[in-house]
Amino acid sequence: MKTKLAEIISIGNEVLAGHTINTNAAYISQQMSAIGLPVYWVTTISDTHDEILFALNTANTRADVVLVTGGLGPTPDDITKATVCEYFNSPLIQNKNVLNHVQNLLKNRGLSLLDTNMAQALVPDKADILHNPVGTAPGLALENKGTYFFFMPGVPIEMKRLINEQIIPYLQKRLNLPAIRSYLLRTTGIAESRLFELLKDILKEYSQFPLAFLPRHIGVDLRFRLISDNKDEQQKFESFVDAVRNKTLKYIFTEENVELEQILGQLLKDRKLTFSCAESFTGGLIGDLLTNIPGSSDYFMGGMITYSNASKMNLLGVKQKTLETYGAVNSETALEMVRGVQQAFATDCAVATTGIAGPAGATETKPVGLCYIAARYGNEEVEKEFHFGRDRIINKRRGAMAAMEMLRRMILKIH
């Protein structure tokens, strides 16, 4: 079976100029890949009539599915819809369902209906209308010479709803898409080079299957993907995934597309544990990440950003002698910080970070990126020394992740 191919066209001067990051294309590509429809081209063009026509013509010659974002708004510079009418020879007509939706949406938001809003109900007469529940511009579906075209607003939340609720079901009804199997193993605590060395024999044995190594700030994602209807090939693929999983089990923190803070938060919630943190190196990032999760008040009791020596002593009870003897960046200081914050908030577990985030502050014995992290679970405690890089923001992120992973392993007794 011939593989169907997709193209993404992103319309917008702000995207082309780099003022807006094209997250839409990344999201659409991920969703198409998940249903066995790989994206082979991503085209970014300006809000101009000729460029839009040229891009549509080009895509029509090579892609089976074309997904277009941008230019469907009510302002004069949104010219996509007019150009679509020209390309598909499809005049505008008023769609009563769209008009009613626009009226109700604006009414619920306490806004009056303007002529520009009413224009959103004008759609090409050949288009299938894709309901947009969170915006005034509907999605449009058209077909030309065997290629399916989908037009969506550029607003990410609207685009995502249209992709998931309208476009994917639309495609699945009309295209004979292949069977697809995909897995994600999200690892931490091991570098990409070491991970490859650990898996090299397995990769050699199953060389017919590609494995993507995707480094992140916290570790490495391993992504597996097979498009095949062959039962024997599917079975061998599953054996390959199992072999990699078993070899890397101690480094895997999830097999889902979620972040470490979500995993730790769920673990704390499931075990009915309370948590607190004392942050110097990470500057409050641990607390920020965990409290971004709905329901975090069930387990997050509080945190302290103790940047100065005075705050470490006054708020956490770090001994002056410890600071004078070892300095603020030291394992003993980290341990006294974590004991102090756990006691202050009376929590089941806690973490503390102290270090030199950079780019300044280094000494001959304490370089930029040096970080000490301590964790406590009940009366059990551990501390560890880390050496990150020279980028302050990345160091804070890596420190926060390392602290959360230390505590997760501690709770689960992973050594």
| Domain CATH code at residue 49 | 3.40.980.10
**Residue of 232, 305, 296, 226 whose CA lies nearest to 261:** 296
State the Cα–Cα distance between residues 329 and 341, nearest whole angstrom.
Answer: 17
In a domain, 1, yes or no: no
- Rg over CA atoms, the chain: 27
- Is the CA virtual torsion 331, 335, 340, 345 positive or negative? positive
Question: Domain check: are 240 and 103 in the same one?
Answer: no
Domain of residue 288: give its range. Answer: 260-412
At residue 71, the pLDDT reads 86
* 330 contact partners, CB below 8 Å, separation of at least 6: 322, 354, 372
Domains in the chain, number? 3
Question: Domain check: are 290 and 354 in the same one?
Answer: yes
Q: Where are the alpha helices (DSSP H) in 37-113?
A: 49-62, 80-87, 96-108
Question: Domain check: are 160 and 202 in the same one?
Answer: no
At residue 58, the pLDDT reads 98
Q: pLDDT of the chain along its 415 residues, tens only?
A: 678 999 999 999 999 999 999 999 999 999 999 999 999 999 999 999 999 999 999 999 999 999 999 988 777 667 889 999 999 999 999 999 999 999 998 989 998 888 888 888 999 999 999 999 999 999 999 999 999 999 999 999 999 999 999 999 999 999 988 888 999 999 998 999 999 999 999 999 999 999 999 999 889 999 999 988 899 999 999 999 999 999 999 999 999 999 999 999 999 999 999 999 999 999 999 999 999 999 999 999 999 999 999 999 999 999 999 999 999 999 999 999 999 999 999 999 999 999 999 999 899 899 999 999 999 999 999 999 999 999 999 999 999 999 999 999 999 999 8
Q: What six digits make up the tokens of 1? A: 């079976």
In a domain, 212, yes or no: yes
3-state secondary structure of 377: strand
Which of 174, 200, 232 is the last residue before a domain boundary?
A: 174
For residue 216, what is the domain's CATH number?
Answer: 3.30.70.2860
pTM of the predicted model as reported, rounded to 2 decimal places: 0.78
End-to-end CA distance of the chain: 47
At residue 319, the pLDDT reads 98
At residue 178, the pLDDT reads 84
At residue 1, the pLDDT reads 62
At residue 289, the pLDDT reads 98
Question: Domain check: are 169 and 201 in the same one?
Answer: no
In a domain, 110, yes or no: yes
* 165 contact partners, CB below 8 Å, separation of at least 6: 131, 133
For residue 353, what is the domain's CATH number?
Answer: 3.90.950.20
Question: Domain check: are 234 and 313 in the same one?
Answer: no
3-state secondary structure of 217: coil
Question: Domain check: are 143 and 289 in the same one?
Answer: no
State the Cα–Cα distance between residues 259 and 186, nearest whole angstrom.
Answer: 9
402 neighbors 340 (Cβ within 8 angstroms)? no
3-state secondary structure of 216: coil
Question: Domain check: are 131 and 280 in the same one?
Answer: no
Residue whose tokens read 């004979």: 176
State the Cα–Cα distance between residues 392 and 389, nearest whole angstrom.
Answer: 8
Cα-Cα-Cα-Cα torsion 57, 58, 59, 63, nearest 10 degrees, comes to 120
Question: Domain check: are 30 and 151 in the same one?
Answer: yes
Q: What six digits make up the tokens of 65? A: 């599915």
Which of 174, 193, 208 is the last residue before a domain boundary?
A: 174
Question: Domain check: are 189 and 310 in the same one?
Answer: no
Q: How far is CA 228 from the centre of its chain?
A: 27
Which of 239, 254, 269 is the last residue before a domain boundary?
A: 254
Question: Domain check: are 98 and 126 in the same one?
Answer: yes
